[in-house]
Amino acid sequence: MRLLLAAAVAAAAPAPAAAPPSAPDAKAARILASAVRLYHRLEFQDALERFDRALGAAPGWKTAAGLRAACRWTLGDQAGAKEDAELAARLKPSDAPSYAARGKARLILKDFPGAMADFRASAEADPRSLEGPLGEGSALSAQGRTRDALEPLDEAVRLDPGSAAALLMRGSVKDRLRDFRGAAEDYGAVLEINPRFAWARLYRGMALRELKDYPAAESELSVFLEANPDHEDAAYLRGNVRFLLGDFRGAAADLTKVLSKNPGRGTAYANRGQARAALGDKAGAVSDLRKALELDPTRRDKIQSALDALAASPAEEAQAAPALREPASERGRRGEPAPERHTGEEESLFIK
């Protein structure tokens, strides 16, 4: 699931009475407004159904197409999102909602200057709406200008503190600025608005792990894994946190699950080897570390050091080597948007 959080228009005004029959009527506008509310709650599937209904009632409605484009992109339908965006990009905006809709279309099409201009025009047309600043923050974030993105996102949250979409985007930006406490607070606020949005559990768990609040991080990752049991990176990260909590058996179990899905992940073998060493399983630890050495020669020195330490200790005294930090240049930070923001590799506790 991709989480590109461009701006969503709060409501669409009904067409004037003299508009052509094909223009959206008041009922279509109400459907679109309900879709936008669901989008801001991060209820994307339900929002998409409403966007589809709105466009079914008014085929070719460019404002609705721009809004649906962002929802489709978020749900991973890039082809459908681009199709909608190309239609919405032909809008001739006349008010704040239509400027915001065209801005979203331009953002998806990577016309960043055009998107920025539209979002600023939307904010100027309606200073009370969060859509302009939310869109501007989204566009700045998409360009890697995370520090610049924070000010408009703060304004978007101020204008509508009930928008989970704005809070999630701001949390992502804070996370990449290494304001992990602020990120954890924003993700927590998202969950207060929509407790079913499991991805906020993952992101909050990652932030809490950075803050060294390991019990809370383990709890959030566990809730996320209940909803997404096959998520490899979440299991990898929970294994990390469980090791830090002294739950070596739980850490080894998580890493075994990771390896069942990705047997080529060398760091998972290295880390499970360290967990097995902490459990006193010297033979298992040596086997895992040797496999890691075969799969991940770039960390040869660190893995070999762990093997040497095991070889020097009696089997009953085998224990994990100290954590080895990898250079900052090797530790990827999250991109834009959500699930792929952490791969898990940068969170490795043991052999990094």
* pLDDT score of 351: 41
Distance CA 243, CA 128 (A): 48
Nearest Cα to Cα of residue 134 among 111, 167, 112: 167
pLDDT value at 289 more than 60:
yes
The answer to whether the CB of 180 falls within 8 A of the CB of 207 is: yes
* pLDDT score of 141: 96
* pLDDT score of 341: 39
* pLDDT score of 114: 98
Residue 157, domain member (yes or no):
no
Distance CA 45, CA 109 (A): 22
Backbone dihedral angles phi then psi of residue 7, each to the nearest 5 degrees = -70, 150
Residue 337, domain member (yes or no):
yes
Residue 300, domain member (yes or no):
yes
pLDDT value at 266 more than 90:
yes
Percentage of residues of the chain with pLDDT beyond 70: 83
Q: Give ∠ CA 292-293-294 in degrees, rounded to 5.
A: 90
* pLDDT score of 33: 97
Distance CA 33, CA 298 (A): 53
* Domains contained in the chain, number: 2
What is the CATH number for 310?
1.25.40.10
What's the whole-number average pLDDT of the chain? Answer: 86
Structure token digits, residue 228 = 């997404």
In a shared domain, residues 253 and 339: yes
pLDDT value at 93 more than 80:
yes
Say which DSSP state 128 is in: T
Q: What is the mean pLDDT of residues 152-164?
A: 98
* pLDDT score of 112: 97
User: Count of CB atoms within 10 A of residue 11's CB?
Assistant: 15
Percentage of residues of the chain with pLDDT beyond 90: 78
pLDDT value at 19 more than 70:
no
Top-confidence residue, 331 or 248: 248
Say which DSSP state 59 is in: T
Residue 187, domain member (yes or no):
no
* pLDDT score of 21: 38
Domain that holds residue 222: 213-347
User: Count of CB atoms within 10 A of residue 187's CB?
Assistant: 29
Distance CA 235, CA 237 (A): 5
User: Count of CB atoms within 10 A of residue 322's CB?
Assistant: 10
Top-confidence residue, 343 or 224: 224
In a shared domain, residues 142 and 31: yes
In a shared domain, residues 223 and 325: yes
Top-confidence residue, 155 or 13: 155
Give the three-state DSSP class for 162. coil
| Cβ-based neighbours of 209, under 8 Å, separated by 6 or more | 217, 237, 240, 241, 347
Encode pLDDT of 171-198 as tens digits. Answer: 999 999 999 999 999 999 999 999 999 9
pLDDT value at 328 more than 60:
no
Residue 315: which pLDDT band, with cuts at 50, 70 and 90? low
